[in-house]
Amino acid sequence: MEWFNVVVHFDRYLDMAMHNYGALVYLLLFLIVFCETALLALFFLPGDPLLFISGALCAGGAIDIWLLMTLLFAAAVVGSVVNYHIGRFIGARVFSRNYRWLNRAALQRTRDFYERHGGLTFLLSPFIAVVRTFAPFVAGVSAMTFRKFLAYTVAGDAIWVVLLVPGGYFFGNIPVIRDHLNGIVLIGIGAGVGSLLAGWLWKQLKTRAV
Protein backbone atom coordinates (compact mmCIF):
# COMPACT_ATOMS: atom_id res chain seq x y z
CA MET A 1 0.00 0.00 0.00
CA GLU A 2 2.90 2.33 0.71
CA TRP A 3 4.32 1.82 -2.79
CA PHE A 4 0.84 2.24 -4.29
CA ASN A 5 0.47 5.57 -2.49
CA VAL A 6 3.88 6.70 -3.74
CA VAL A 7 3.02 5.86 -7.36
CA VAL A 8 -0.43 7.48 -7.25
CA HIS A 9 1.01 10.66 -5.74
CA PHE A 10 4.42 10.42 -7.38
CA ASP A 11 4.43 14.16 -8.10
CA ARG A 12 4.68 14.74 -4.33
CA TYR A 13 7.61 12.33 -3.93
CA LEU A 14 9.48 13.24 -7.10
CA ASP A 15 12.16 15.32 -5.42
CA MET A 16 12.87 12.58 -2.88
CA ALA A 17 12.85 9.88 -5.58
CA MET A 18 15.35 11.83 -7.69
CA HIS A 19 17.64 12.13 -4.69
CA ASN A 20 17.40 8.41 -3.83
CA TYR A 21 17.23 6.75 -7.25
CA GLY A 22 18.88 9.18 -9.65
CA ALA A 23 18.50 8.37 -13.35
CA LEU A 24 16.03 5.56 -12.58
CA VAL A 25 13.41 8.28 -12.08
CA TYR A 26 13.39 8.89 -15.84
CA LEU A 27 12.16 5.32 -16.33
CA LEU A 28 9.55 5.71 -13.58
CA LEU A 29 8.23 8.92 -15.13
CA PHE A 30 8.02 7.26 -18.54
CA LEU A 31 6.15 4.26 -17.10
CA ILE A 32 3.66 6.39 -15.14
CA VAL A 33 2.72 8.52 -18.15
CA PHE A 34 2.61 5.46 -20.40
CA CYS A 35 0.36 3.51 -18.01
CA GLU A 36 -1.97 6.47 -17.48
CA THR A 37 -2.50 6.93 -21.22
CA ALA A 38 -2.51 3.23 -22.16
CA LEU A 39 -4.51 1.46 -19.44
CA LEU A 40 -8.05 2.52 -18.53
CA ALA A 41 -7.84 1.01 -15.06
CA LEU A 42 -4.95 3.35 -14.19
CA PHE A 43 -6.68 6.63 -15.12
CA PHE A 44 -6.07 7.90 -11.56
CA LEU A 45 -2.29 8.22 -12.01
CA PRO A 46 -0.94 11.79 -11.86
CA GLY A 47 -0.65 13.65 -15.16
CA ASP A 48 -0.56 17.44 -15.19
CA PRO A 49 0.99 17.83 -11.70
CA LEU A 50 3.66 15.26 -12.55
CA LEU A 51 4.78 17.10 -15.68
CA PHE A 52 4.68 20.46 -13.94
CA ILE A 53 6.67 19.36 -10.87
CA SER A 54 9.15 17.57 -13.15
CA GLY A 55 9.70 20.86 -14.96
CA ALA A 56 10.30 22.60 -11.63
CA LEU A 57 13.00 20.06 -10.76
CA CYS A 58 14.60 20.70 -14.15
CA ALA A 59 15.06 24.32 -13.11
CA GLY A 60 17.18 23.14 -10.19
CA GLY A 61 19.31 20.95 -12.43
CA ALA A 62 18.09 17.66 -10.95
CA ILE A 63 16.57 16.54 -14.28
CA ASP A 64 17.59 17.28 -17.87
CA ILE A 65 14.63 19.09 -19.42
CA TRP A 66 15.25 17.99 -23.03
CA LEU A 67 15.60 14.33 -22.16
CA LEU A 68 12.56 14.56 -19.89
CA MET A 69 10.36 16.19 -22.55
CA THR A 70 11.41 13.61 -25.14
CA LEU A 71 10.64 10.68 -22.82
CA LEU A 72 7.28 12.06 -21.64
CA PHE A 73 6.17 12.85 -25.19
CA ALA A 74 7.13 9.34 -26.33
CA ALA A 75 5.35 7.78 -23.32
CA ALA A 76 2.13 9.72 -24.00
CA VAL A 77 2.07 8.91 -27.72
CA VAL A 78 2.95 5.22 -27.34
CA GLY A 79 0.47 4.83 -24.48
CA SER A 80 -2.31 6.47 -26.50
CA VAL A 81 -1.59 4.23 -29.51
CA VAL A 82 -1.76 1.11 -27.33
CA ASN A 83 -5.04 2.32 -25.81
CA TYR A 84 -6.46 3.05 -29.28
CA HIS A 85 -5.73 -0.50 -30.46
CA ILE A 86 -7.29 -1.95 -27.30
CA GLY A 87 -10.42 0.04 -28.15
CA ARG A 88 -10.36 -1.22 -31.75
CA PHE A 89 -10.00 -4.81 -30.51
CA ILE A 90 -12.88 -4.62 -28.02
CA GLY A 91 -15.12 -2.53 -30.28
CA ALA A 92 -18.66 -1.33 -29.65
CA ARG A 93 -19.48 -4.28 -27.38
CA VAL A 94 -17.83 -2.30 -24.60
CA PHE A 95 -21.09 -0.36 -24.26
CA SER A 96 -23.24 -3.48 -23.86
CA ARG A 97 -21.09 -5.58 -21.55
CA ASN A 98 -20.26 -4.98 -17.91
CA TYR A 99 -16.47 -5.05 -17.61
CA ARG A 100 -15.32 -4.83 -13.99
CA TRP A 101 -12.09 -3.07 -14.91
CA LEU A 102 -13.93 -0.31 -16.78
CA ASN A 103 -15.24 2.91 -15.24
CA ARG A 104 -18.44 3.26 -17.25
CA ALA A 105 -19.19 6.80 -16.06
CA ALA A 106 -15.78 7.99 -17.25
CA LEU A 107 -16.24 6.14 -20.54
CA GLN A 108 -19.62 7.74 -21.20
CA ARG A 109 -18.35 11.19 -20.23
CA THR A 110 -15.45 10.86 -22.66
CA ARG A 111 -17.72 9.52 -25.40
CA ASP A 112 -20.02 12.55 -24.99
CA PHE A 113 -16.99 14.84 -25.09
CA TYR A 114 -15.77 13.15 -28.28
CA GLU A 115 -19.19 13.43 -29.95
CA ARG A 116 -19.31 17.18 -29.18
CA HIS A 117 -15.76 18.08 -30.20
CA GLY A 118 -14.65 15.40 -32.68
CA GLY A 119 -10.94 15.49 -33.53
CA LEU A 120 -10.47 18.53 -31.28
CA THR A 121 -10.91 16.10 -28.38
CA PHE A 122 -7.36 14.80 -28.87
CA LEU A 123 -5.85 18.28 -28.77
CA LEU A 124 -7.65 19.04 -25.49
CA SER A 125 -7.77 15.63 -23.78
CA PRO A 126 -4.13 15.58 -22.56
CA PHE A 127 -5.01 18.53 -20.30
CA ILE A 128 -8.13 16.92 -18.82
CA ALA A 129 -7.77 14.18 -16.20
CA VAL A 130 -9.66 10.94 -16.97
CA VAL A 131 -10.48 12.15 -20.51
CA ARG A 132 -6.75 11.93 -21.18
CA THR A 133 -6.93 8.18 -20.54
CA PHE A 134 -10.29 7.36 -22.10
CA ALA A 135 -10.12 9.46 -25.30
CA PRO A 136 -7.75 7.12 -27.23
CA PHE A 137 -9.88 4.13 -26.23
CA VAL A 138 -13.08 5.85 -27.43
CA ALA A 139 -11.34 6.70 -30.72
CA GLY A 140 -10.55 3.01 -31.20
CA VAL A 141 -14.04 1.89 -30.29
CA SER A 142 -15.50 4.48 -32.70
CA ALA A 143 -13.25 3.15 -35.51
CA MET A 144 -11.61 6.52 -36.09
CA THR A 145 -8.94 6.07 -38.77
CA PHE A 146 -5.53 5.46 -37.22
CA ARG A 147 -3.83 8.10 -39.40
CA LYS A 148 -6.24 10.80 -38.25
CA PHE A 149 -6.04 9.66 -34.63
CA LEU A 150 -2.24 9.62 -34.67
CA ALA A 151 -2.00 13.11 -36.17
CA TYR A 152 -4.26 14.61 -33.50
CA THR A 153 -2.62 12.62 -30.70
CA VAL A 154 0.92 13.62 -31.64
CA ALA A 155 -0.13 17.28 -31.82
CA GLY A 156 -2.07 17.16 -28.54
CA ASP A 157 0.66 15.35 -26.60
CA ALA A 158 3.33 17.67 -27.97
CA ILE A 159 1.35 20.72 -26.81
CA TRP A 160 0.75 19.08 -23.42
CA VAL A 161 4.42 18.38 -22.78
CA VAL A 162 5.73 21.64 -24.26
CA LEU A 163 3.37 23.74 -22.14
CA LEU A 164 3.52 21.95 -18.79
CA VAL A 165 7.18 20.94 -18.46
CA PRO A 166 8.63 24.36 -19.39
CA GLY A 167 5.76 25.89 -17.39
CA GLY A 168 7.04 24.06 -14.35
CA TYR A 169 10.61 25.03 -15.24
CA PHE A 170 9.81 28.74 -15.18
CA PHE A 171 6.93 28.94 -12.68
CA GLY A 172 6.93 25.69 -10.69
CA ASN A 173 8.55 27.21 -7.62
CA ILE A 174 5.87 29.91 -7.26
CA PRO A 175 3.49 28.54 -4.57
CA VAL A 176 0.27 30.15 -5.84
CA ILE A 177 0.78 28.65 -9.32
CA ARG A 178 1.84 25.23 -8.04
CA ASP A 179 -1.14 25.00 -5.67
CA HIS A 180 -3.72 26.04 -8.30
CA LEU A 181 -2.29 24.23 -11.32
CA ASN A 182 -5.50 22.44 -12.33
CA GLY A 183 -7.53 25.63 -12.30
CA ILE A 184 -4.91 27.47 -14.35
CA VAL A 185 -4.82 24.65 -16.91
CA LEU A 186 -8.61 24.69 -17.25
CA ILE A 187 -8.64 28.47 -17.69
CA GLY A 188 -6.01 28.12 -20.42
CA ILE A 189 -8.05 25.46 -22.18
CA GLY A 190 -11.17 27.61 -21.92
CA ALA A 191 -9.34 30.57 -23.45
CA GLY A 192 -8.01 28.42 -26.28
CA VAL A 193 -11.37 26.85 -27.09
CA GLY A 194 -13.05 30.24 -26.79
CA SER A 195 -10.69 31.77 -29.31
CA LEU A 196 -11.31 28.88 -31.73
CA LEU A 197 -15.08 29.29 -31.40
CA ALA A 198 -14.84 33.05 -31.81
CA GLY A 199 -12.80 32.60 -34.99
CA TRP A 200 -15.31 30.08 -36.34
CA LEU A 201 -18.28 32.33 -35.55
CA TRP A 202 -16.58 35.32 -37.18
CA LYS A 203 -15.91 33.25 -40.30
CA GLN A 204 -19.56 32.12 -40.41
CA LEU A 205 -20.82 35.69 -40.05
CA LYS A 206 -18.55 36.90 -42.85
CA THR A 207 -19.73 34.04 -45.10
CA ARG A 208 -23.38 34.88 -44.51
CA ALA A 209 -22.79 38.59 -45.08
CA VAL A 210 -21.36 37.96 -48.55
Q: Tens digits of per-residue pLDDT, 114-123?
A: 777 777 777 8
- Whether residue 48 contacts residue 129, with contact meaning beta carbons closer than 8 Å, is answered with yes
- Whether residue 128 contacts residue 31, with contact meaning beta carbons closer than 8 Å, is answered with no
Inform me whether the pLDDT recorded for 188 exceeds 50.
Answer: no
pLDDT value, residue 125: 80
- Whether residue 75 contacts residue 28, with contact meaning beta carbons closer than 8 Å, is answered with no
Following CA atoms 57, 59, 62, 63 in sequence, which dihedral angle do they give, to the nearest 10 degrees? 80
- pTM of the complete model: 0.71
Measured from the Cβ of residue 76, the count of other Cβ atoms closer than 10 Å reads 28
Backbone angles phi, psi at 23, to 5 degrees: -65, -20
Closest to 57 in 3D by CA, of 83, 96, 99, 28? 28
Ramachandran class of 195: left when φ > 0, alpha when ψ lies in -120 to 50, beta otherwise? alpha
Once rounded to an integer, what is the mean pLDDT over residues 168-184?
59
- Whether residue 40 contacts residue 151, with contact meaning beta carbons closer than 8 Å, is answered with no
pLDDT value, residue 84: 93
Alpha-carbon distance of 1 to 49, in angstroms, equals 21
- Whether residue 139 contacts residue 94, with contact meaning beta carbons closer than 8 Å, is answered with no
Once rounded to an integer, what is the mean pLDDT over residues 55-61?
77
pLDDT value, residue 118: 74
Alpha-carbon distance of 183 to 186, in angstroms, equals 5
Q: At what angle do helices 104-117 and 131-141 cross, to 10 degrees?
A: 70
User: Sign of the CA dihedral 180, 169, 122, 138?
Assistant: negative
DSSP state of 99: -
